[in-house]
Structure 1
Amino acid sequence: MSEKQGLMVLGPAFLAVLGFGSPALAEEPTEPESTVTAPAESHEGEETGQAEPAPADRSDEPETGTDDSDVSDGTDDGEEPYGFRIPPQPRERQEPPSAPIEETSIKMGRDERDAVQVVNEFWVRNWPKNFTGPYKPPTVLGPYDPTSPDRPTCGDEPLGAGEAIYCDGPDYIAWDKDFIRGIPSEEGNTFPYLVVAHEWGHAIQARIPGQVWKGSELQADCLAGATLVGAYKEGRLEWEPRDPEKLSRALTRIADSHPWSEPEHHGDAEQRVHYFSMGKQGVQACVQEH
């Protein structure tokens, strides 16, 4: 399935689950639909009865994405700016420091740092609600240069190009500095959040060995969905109206395009969107017997 075909098939169902302007996020959890149906047609200017969140004003903020100045911000004339954003939190809601981050020669971009913060703080809040024992975040090595002889290793193998990985033994998360960018013109800034939340899902699996599905990659997608949708519900992560579509594009692309993302390992595009969407029901939906 091509990226375009996958988005056409999967987009409506994904938007129905996560889309703003629909009551989906406010409803009680339900089993994901097994069939794909198109959303009701709407026309510009018609009242829907649901208020969509207004795009955040970022005119005074530094450019998002990586630190490279030649990377597009992923917007066209008339299109809202980057979607994901951490809103200011009242002092009483501020969380403990994020996961420990080792110093590397490559600095993380703002979206990478924000993704680490959002994901770690979600688990700081939600681990005690779902699991016993203390929560310990993985170490975040962050971006690496796949051409560097000093790049991280997992086992005896140096990490390669086009990869993001959770390495179980040393308990760390790392990613190729170029891969983490995604395609900003199509995915906005959703891709770093998706990657970090998915790899963090593998770190959670390492902490709950008796509750890991046979399809561990799809469970990590579910945990990523629980994290990002959960952070939105808790008021810790702002989404813009087209962010569900951008996430659908990203999930479809990485299911179709990357040799390390073969369907038998990570699931095909439809499965990845389905299990990510399942995460809207919460963490327990991702750890129940499957």
Structure 2
Amino acid sequence: MGAGGRGRRQGRLAGLAVALVAAAACMVEPVGQPADPTEQRQPASPSAEVTRADGTDTVEEFQQDMADAQRLAEQYWAAQFRASGQSFRPIRQVITYQRDGEVTCGGQEVPRNNAVYCTVSDYIAYDINWSFGAFRQIGDAFVFYLLAHEYAHGIQTRLGIRYNFTIQQELQADCMAGAFLGDSVRAGTLTLEEGDLEEFNEGLLAVGDDPSQPWFAEGSHGTPEQRAEHFFRGYERSLSACDLG
């Protein structure tokens, strides 16, 4: 990851106030709907063992970064499950969309300008136009956080974790995303470049809930400070900081 030769993107986050899983649809869990058995998981594109962005902001790099993030998440969580003596089943599919209602989860339309994990069909979906725009404004670290957060929701589902309040689910997913990325950096499978930690922090501060949002409301994700705190708690202290039991 890293800004490399494409430069910093200071002061351009205000337009992303609705960005990065800030809507209630981040984790979509319809009740009583069976998963579609025809959906097949698409494998991530192969890449080098050590992931490093090439310092551009092209469509090709965006696609490669997303594929790398998926591949690394699958490798990381497979190792965690294996270490605990459990079998691991990767998320079945990561898909893109461009229009409201183009993708549904158990009968619910997935809105534009968002990324979601659908529990009923076990897929991650993200608005590709919005995601690419945020990638160019914030930096390539955004892509890895985006995928890491949604993948964490899939892990919560596999572990049977379900809190009473949305904010608890979301802040734990932020912590788990931080743990995955921090552990990957420490293991040498992901390389940070100058400015990447700043990109993580600025992105998280830009996507917290509005101050008027009650913490207990359905769809609450946490204040900007809470989201950054939980992400970096996981980044620095690994999964032991994420209350996984």
TM-score tier (shorter): 0.5 to 0.7
Asked if 1:267 corresponds to 2:222, the answer is: yes
What is the 5 A alignment of 1:101-140?
A: 109-129=63-83, 131-140=84-93
Partner of 1:51: none
| Alpha-carbon shift at residue 225 of structure 1 (Å) | 0.2
Using a 3 Å threshold, how does the CA distance of structure 1 residues 110 and 262 change in structure 2: closer, same or farther? Answer: farther
Taking the aligned partners of 1:194 and 1:65, their CA distance within structure 2 comes to 18
Is 1:222 matched with 2:215?
A: no
Q: CA deviation at 1:285?
A: 2.0
Q: TM-score, normalised by structure 2?
A: 0.68
Q: How does 1:1-290 map to 2 (within 5 A)?
A: 58=54, 63-67=56-60, 109-129=63-83, 131-147=84-100, 151-184=102-135, 186-210=137-161, 214=165, 215-256=168-209, 264=216, 265-279=220-234, 280-288=236-244
Counterpart Cα distance in 2 of 1:198 and 1:248: 14
Q: What is the alpha-carbon distance in structure 2 between the residues aligned to residue 287 and residue 127 of structure 1?
A: 16
Q: d(CA) in 2 for partners of 1:256 and 1:210?
A: 23
Cα deviations by residue, 1:154-190 (Å, 9 ceiling, x for unpaired): 1212211011001111111111112222534552111
CA distance in 2 between partners of 1:127 and 1:240 (Å): 29
Q: What letter corresponds to residue 207 of structure 1 in structure 2? A: R
8 Å contact from structure 2 (residues 114, 127) kept in 1: yes
Deviations 1:81-129 (A, max 9, x none): xxxxxxxxxxxxxxxxxxxxxxxxxxx7122111111211111222223
Deviation at 1:252, TM superposition (A): 1.2
Listed as ranges, the gaps of 5+ residues in structure 1 are 8-55, 68-72, 74-107
Identity of aligned residues (%): 28
CA drift of 1:57 comes to 9.1
The one-letter amino acid paired with 2:95 is G
In 2, the alpha carbon distance for the partners of 1:64 and 1:110 equals 11
CA contact (8 A) 1:262 1:268 kept: no
The one-letter amino acid of 1:66's match is: V
Given that 1:166 and 1:202 are in contact with CA atoms closer than 8 Å, whether structure 2 keeps it comes out as: yes
For structure 2, list consecutive stretches of 5 or more residues without a partner in the other structure.
Answer: 1-9, 15-51
Per-residue CA deviations over 1:131-168 (Å, capped at 9, x if unaligned) read 44211011223211225x6x221121221101100111
CA distance in 2 between counterparts of 1:178 and 1:253 reads 18
Alpha-carbon distance between aligned partners in 1 of 2:177 and 2:53, rounded to the nearest angstrom: 27
Q: How far apart are the structure 2 equivalents of 1:197 and 1:115?
A: 7
